Structure 1
C-alpha cells in the first residue's frame, strides 16, 4: 500500500506535486498547532511594513481546517492542476509555472481591493476556468446532480462554494484573448525560467504536434483550420 502510494506520488508532475504537498503540509501544521492561520494569511500591512513576504505564498496553501471544504478544494486543485500540467502544458513546466505566477500576482492585486485573507479557493477556480476554456466540448457530471459542458464548471463551483460560505474571486487569465483570431501573447515565459525548470532545449527548431482537444476544437483557428 505504502509503495503504491509512493509510486503514484512520484508520478505526479512536478508543479502539481509541489503545490499539493505544500497545501497538505500547511494544513497539517495548522491542525497540530505548529503554526496558526494568523501567521500565514494575506495581510498587506504585515507584508509591506513587517516584511513578512512569506504570506504572499502561504495564503494560497490553506483551505481551512481538515473537513469537507478542505477536501473539496484539494480534490479540484489536484485534479485540474494535474490535467493542465499533463495536457495543455505537457513538457512545458516553465510555461505552466509562469502562468501560475502571473495568475497569483493578479489575485494578490485583487486581494488588496476585496480584502480576502486566503486565496487558495480563487486559485482553484483559476485552474478550473483555464482547463474548461481549453476543453469546451467535454461533458461533466457534478456529483450526479447535473450534467453540463466544461465551460460551465467554474460557475457551478462558484455557486457551490458560495453555498459552503466561501468568498470566491474568479480571475480571468492570459489564455482566452491570445488564442483568438488576431490575438497575441501578452506575456512570454522568461528564458532563464525555462532553462531552470526544463533544462537546455535540445532542438530549438523542433515543433511538437498541436494539442488534441475534445471535439476537434482549436482555439484561434478559422473554419479552414478546424478539424472535422
Structure 2
C-alpha cells in the first residue's frame, strides 16, 4: 500500500508541472515563414520595377539614408563649381544625382520626389520606352548632362529634384490631355501639372528654382526628340550610343535610336488617355495601368 501511494503521488506531481512561459514552439516556427513570405513579396515588387528606374530609385534611397545616419559627410555628395573644376572631384555630378540632404524639414519633400520618380519614371520606361532600356537610359543621360551644366551655372548643389521634374515634364507632355487629380480633389490636364508644382513650391517652400530647371531640361529633350523632327521636319539630333545597346539590349523588335515621335503621343478625348487617374500615377502612356 505504501508503494502504491508513493507511485500515485509521483504521477500526480508530474502531471501538475506547468509548461514554460513564452510563445509556443509552433508560433516560433511560423514567424520565420512570415518573414520569408514578406521578403518574397518585397522581392517580387522590387524586381518588378523596370530596370533603369530600379537602379535610379535604389541609389536615391540608399545614399540619402546613409548620409542621414552619418556614414559619410554630405559635403562629399554635392555639386560645386570650384570642387569640380579646380580640385577635379569628378564624382560629384554622379553623387549629386542620387543624394538629397535629409533633415526633419526636408524628409517629406524627399519622399515626394521618390514618389514622383517611381511613378513617372516607371510610366515612361514601361510606356514610351517599353522594351528599350538603352533608349530610356540615353534620355536620362542627356537630361543629366544638361542638368549638370545648368546647376553648375546656377549654383544648385543637388540634381535629384530637377532630374525628377524633367522626367515628370516629359510624361506630362506625352499625356497632355490626360486628366490628373491634385490635392483636395482638384482636377486638370496633365500638361499643367509641372507648373502647378512650381507654384506650390514657391508658396510652401519659398523655392521653385529646381522645378524650373527640371522643366527647362524636360522641354529641351521633348523639343529635340519629338517637336522639332515631326513638326518642323528637321533631322533627329538625339541618338542612343551603340554601347548602351550592348549593355542593355532591346527586349522586343524595335528600331534603334530615336528622334521620331511615336504615333500615340497625342491622345484624343475618346481613347484611354482621357481617363481619370490619381495624381502621380505613371501609367503606360495613353492607356490604362
TM-superposed CA distance for 1:197, in Å, is 1.2
Does residue 15 in structure 1 map to residue 52 in structure 2?
yes
Does residue 184 in structure 1 map to residue 239 in structure 2?
no
TM-superposed CA distance for 1:62, in Å, is 2.3
Classify 1:156/1:59 alpha carbon distance in 2 versus 1 (closer, same or farther; 3 Å): same
SS of the residue 1:148 aligns to: strand
For structure 1, the residue ranges without an aligned partner over 5 or more in a row are: 218-228
Report 1 or 2 for greater relative contact order, CA contacts < 8 Å, sequence distance ≥ 6.
2
Alignment match, 1:81: 121
Alignment match, 1:5: 42
Classify 1:33/1:211 alpha carbon distance in 2 versus 1 (closer, same or farther; 3 Å): farther
Bigger CA radius of gyration: 2
| 2:85 paired residue among 44, 48, 53 | 48
Alignment match, 1:215: 267
TM-superposed CA distance for 1:201, in Å, is 8.4
CA contact 1:63–1:73 (8 Å) conserved in 2 = no
CA contact 2:131–2:250 (8 Å) conserved in 1 = no
SS of the residue 2:147 aligns to: helix
CA contact 2:79–2:92 (8 Å) conserved in 1 = yes
State the distance in 2 between where 1:57 and 1:47 align.
Answer: 11
Alignment match, 2:171: 131
Please identify, of 121-130 and 57-66, the stretch whose mean Cα deviation from structure 2 is larger.
57-66
Alignment match, 1:174: 221
TM-superposed CA distance for 1:214, in Å, is 6.8
CA contact 1:138–1:214 (8 Å) conserved in 2 = no
Alignment match, 1:152: 192
CA contact 1:125–1:157 (8 Å) conserved in 2 = no
Q: Tell me the number of residue pairs that the alignment of Structure 1 and Structure 2 aligns.
A: 213
TM score, norm. by length of structure 1 = 0.84
For structure 2, the residue ranges without an aligned partner over 5 or more in a row are: 1-37, 257-261, 270-289
Classify 1:145/1:188 alpha carbon distance in 2 versus 1 (closer, same or farther; 3 Å): same
TM score, norm. by length of structure 2 = 0.68
CA contact 1:126–1:173 (8 Å) conserved in 2 = no
State the distance in 2 between where 1:174 and 1:215 align.
Answer: 20
